[in-house]
Structure 1
Amino acid sequence: MGEPGYDAWPVSLVCGDLILRPIRYRDHTEWASVRSRNVSWLSPWEATNPSPGGRLPTFREMVRALNAQARSLAGLPFVIEERRPLLKRPVIIGQLTVSTIVWGSAMNATLGYWVDKDVAGRGVAPTAVAMATDHCFNVLGLHRVEINIRPENVASLRVVEKLGFRFEGLRPKLLHINGQWADHRSYALTRDEVPDGLLKLWLEQRSEKK
């Protein structure tokens, strides 16, 4: 399959009350509020800039860069939202980014995510990952999706284990995280491993456990 057409991006993905949709400049206030509430929850796993005096981009700079990647289908920047009965509109509860999309003979991508601590343990992260993975496989036509996780990040490791991502090995000092070069465990899934879709498999698995 070649590169995807117009339906690959922008796009919103929906599963029940969960929504993945493109990040926007006007998300800044709400996004920053969620991040502020989750500083201690997220900071051990946060990317940092190893350059002397280096800094991470501002929200506006981040969105501008992510949108540029999306226009060239080098990445897909989603926020994770949830519909709530008493509110008029969905609320932001996390972020999921498909990055480093490689076409040609590789046809793969890397996926990263974070969620609000208040929704942890409710299946939000696995569902969002499954939704994005299916979009990568079925709409973009990618062959492989990879997720890299710090060995100490137990919550995130549970996500890939629940979804059946295959452990491929330890990658020493892969990324600069929380002020130091950090090892990561690499997990991956290929399209032929989930011919009926990862989301369908995950939802069936959850249903069986109820």
Structure 2
Amino acid sequence: MNDAAIDVFLAGRPDTSRRVTLRHLAGRDQDEFLDLVRASTQLHHPWMSLPSTPEQFQAYLARYAESGEESLLVCVRGSGAIAGLVNINSIIRGRFQSGAIAYAAFAPSAGQGYLSEGVTVVVRYAFEQLRLHRLEAQIQPGNHASLKLVRRVGFRQEGYSPELLYIDGAWRDHERWAITTSMVDIRPTPPHPTLPER
């Protein structure tokens, strides 16, 4: 995955006061990423599981090289240190123009607001550059930090799904949250070419 679309998107944004920037996950990130995953085990458990071996990382990278999937690193502006990760999964075009996001902070910089800023920028990137109409997030009810983050970014709660996703060895209940282009002040963009006229 190349970063040209991200570069175009970021170059067109006037606000240079952001503390974070985005780039796609790449092979060169393997060592730093795996070190951050190891350092963040307690932070992520039991909410999510990220690749923790070189083999798992390579499989993860291959998944996000596929069409309809994007893995974006949230990096601290200036230092370039990876502060978090936001994935846009299962992008569906046509009448839906939607994707699902998943995200994680990494322990060394957790609690400093970098991930909230990163998710906010990813939402705008998804709507303005990828021309999606909707993003969804599924969150376990006990994951209070994640629920607080989506509220802060502007997502609305849409429902509750028992046994929605298989995580940490069991089917887990999730709250369903979403945000659409009409809920965010974004630059006008033409519809994606796959959107039908009627």
Q: Which amino acid aligns with 1:63?
A: L
Q: Indicate the residue corresponding to 2:130 in structure 1.
A: 140
Give the Cα–Cα distance (whole angstroms) in 2 for the partners of residues 83 and 43 of structure 1: 27
Give the Cα–Cα distance (whole angstroms) in 2 for the partners of residues 130 and 31 of structure 1: 22
Give the Cα–Cα distance (whole angstroms) in 2 for the partners of residues 152 and 135 of structure 1: 28
**What's the TM-score once normalised by structure 1's chain length?**
0.76
Q: Indicate the residue corresponding to 2:195 in structure 1.
A: none
**How far apart are residue 117 of structure 1 and its match?**
2.7
Q: Indicate the residue corresponding to 1:207 in structure 2.
A: none
Q: Indicate the residue corresponding to 1:129 in structure 2.
A: 119
Higher deviation after alignment, 7-16 or 157-166: 7-16
Give the Cα–Cα distance (whole angstroms) in 1 for the partners of residues 19 and 137 of structure 2: 24
Instruction: Map Cα deviations across residues 53-82 of structure 1 (whole Å, 9 max, x no partner).
Output: xxxx61011101211x2xx2x021111211
Give the Cα–Cα distance (whole angstroms) in 2 for the partners of residues 127 and 92 of structure 1: 13
Q: Classify the secondary structure of the residue corresponding to 2:36.
A: helix
**How far apart are residue 8 of structure 1 and its match?**
8.6
Unaligned runs of 5+ in 2: 11-15, 188-198
Q: Indicate the residue corresponding to 1:4 in structure 2.
A: none
Q: Classify the secondary structure of the residue corresponding to 1:45.
A: coil
**What's the TM-score once normalised by structure 2's chain length?**
0.81
**How far apart are residue 161 of structure 1 and its match?**
1.1
User: Does 2:157 match 1:167?
Assistant: yes
Paired residues of 2:84 and 2:114 also in contact (CA < 8 A): no
Q: Indicate the residue corresponding to 2:62 in structure 1.
A: 64
User: Does 2:31 match 1:76?
Assistant: no
**How far apart are residue 9 of structure 1 and its match?**
5.8
Give the Cα–Cα distance (whole angstroms) in 2 for the partners of residues 31 and 117 of structure 1: 12
Q: Classify the secondary structure of the residue corresponding to 2:132.
A: coil
Give the Cα–Cα distance (whole angstroms) in 2 for the partners of residues 153 and 114 of structure 1: 12
- The alignment yields a C-alpha RMSD, in angstroms, of 2.2
**How far apart are residue 11 of structure 1 and its match?**
2.3
**How far apart are residue 47 of structure 1 and its match?**
4.5
Q: Which amino acid aligns with 1:11?
A: I
Q: Which amino acid aligns with 1:155?
A: A
2:41 aligned to which of 39, 42, 45: 39
Give the Cα–Cα distance (whole angstroms) in 2 for the partners of residues 65 and 95 of structure 1: 15
Summarize the alignment of residues 45-124 of structure 1 with structure 2, pairs less than 5 Å apart.
45-47=47-49, 58-67=56-65, 69=66, 72=67, 74-83=68-77, 89-124=79-114
Tell me: CA distance 1:181–1:106, structure 2 relative to 1, closer, same or farther (3 Å).
same
Unaligned runs of 5+ in 1: 1-6, 49-56, 198-210
Give the Cα–Cα distance (whole angstroms) in 2 for the partners of residues 140 and 79 of structure 1: 17
Q: Which amino acid aligns with 2:90?
A: T
**How far apart are residue 142 of structure 1 and its match?**
1.1
Q: Classify the secondary structure of the residue corresponding to 1:147.
A: strand
Paired residues of 1:8 and 1:139 also in contact (CA < 8 A): no
**How far apart are residue 120 of structure 1 and its match?**
2.7
